[in-house]
Amino acid sequence: MSQWFLDKELKALNGWQLTAFSVAVTERMFPNFALFSNLLEFGDRDQVRSILDGIWNKLGNSGAKMNFEVQQANIEANMPDLDQFDMYGASPALDAMVALYSTVNCLLEPNSNEAANVGNLALESVATFIEVTADSDMSDEQLLRHISQHDMMLQEEGFQEEVIRRISALKKPSSAFIDELKLLAANDGVSNIGVSE
């Protein structure tokens, strides 16, 4: 799935659909932050979880109220500084938080560029993981081919396409649809790079 394809698909979506795409992709990245948070006792995993749930609830019209402008500062407080953590796990944790920040932006002011940012962050997160775990003897060309054909990359691309397909088919979301989308995105607690907390 090319960047061009993703941008084109997202430009055809309306406000709630852009937020639904963004939160679904971010949900699938959440365990990357949660595991890092648990292992390094960094940030506030429960706070991040409640912000994610607040976005789902807003989409499903559950009546729960959350001040999302305030939550943006909370999300920033949970972004690991890569200069402070010289371990790989900080990078996917940061990606998940940046994706969540963009998702809240999308909720406050729908924007296909913010949604595309979330989708691309998730794909980059997967690409980086594959690169870090790849055979170091590979040439650049072999590595690019390895990344593009890797099961994890194909799964992430397939997941994003499936989310777009599902939300494109609806004019307005029902709470049952949002619950189904959340279940799909949660992926039994396994993230887009195969970790669970």
What integer pLDDT is reported at residue 2 of this predicted model?
A: 62
123 phi, psi to nearest 5 deg: -65, -40
| % the chain with pLDDT above 90 | 91
What integer pLDDT is reported at residue 60 of this predicted model?
A: 93
- Checking if the pLDDT of 102 tops 90, the result is yes
What integer pLDDT is reported at residue 1 of this predicted model?
A: 58
- Checking if the pLDDT of 196 tops 90, the result is yes
Q: What is the mean pLDDT of residues 126-136?
A: 94
What integer pLDDT is reported at residue 62 of this predicted model?
A: 77
- Checking if the pLDDT of 73 tops 90, the result is yes
Task: Number of helices (H) and strands (E) in the chain: give both, helices first.
Answer: 9, 0
Q: What is the mean pLDDT of residues 38-63?
A: 94
**Which CA distances in Å does 171 have to 79, 126, 162, 185?**
34, 31, 17, 20
Beta-carbon count within 10 A of 65 CB: 8
| 8 A C-beta contact, residue 125 and residue 167 | no
Band (pLDDT 50/70/90 cuts) for residue 175 is: very high
